[in-house]
Amino acid sequence: MSAKYYTQFVLTDVEYLGGNEFCGVVELNQPTARDSDRRDIEAILARNFDLAQSAVRLVSWSRLH
């Protein structure tokens, strides 16, 4: 079952320095655990942009109902 989240994050990779803040709905194939750590979410976002986890800084993340 998929899950949708509203997220806001900043990409710190050199390629995105001109426009690096993003927000919107992210849909995952399955919900994240309730106790997911910020680094876990940043890792998911980084994989989607083909970036290192250190290139993503999560601002906010909340599940949509």
Which residues form the domain of 28? 3-63
| DSSP codes joined into one string, 21-43 | EEEEEEEESSPPPTT--HHHHHH
pLDDT, one tens digit for every residue, the chain (65 residues): 788 999 999 998 877 777 789 999 988 887 877 767 888 889 989 998 899 999 999 999 998 88
| pTM higher than the cut 0.85 | no
**C-alpha torsion sign, points 2, 50, 15, 41:** positive
Retrieve residue 12's tokens.
């710190």
Number of domains within the chain: 1
What's the residue count for the chain?
A: 65
**At 38, which CATH number?**
3.10.20
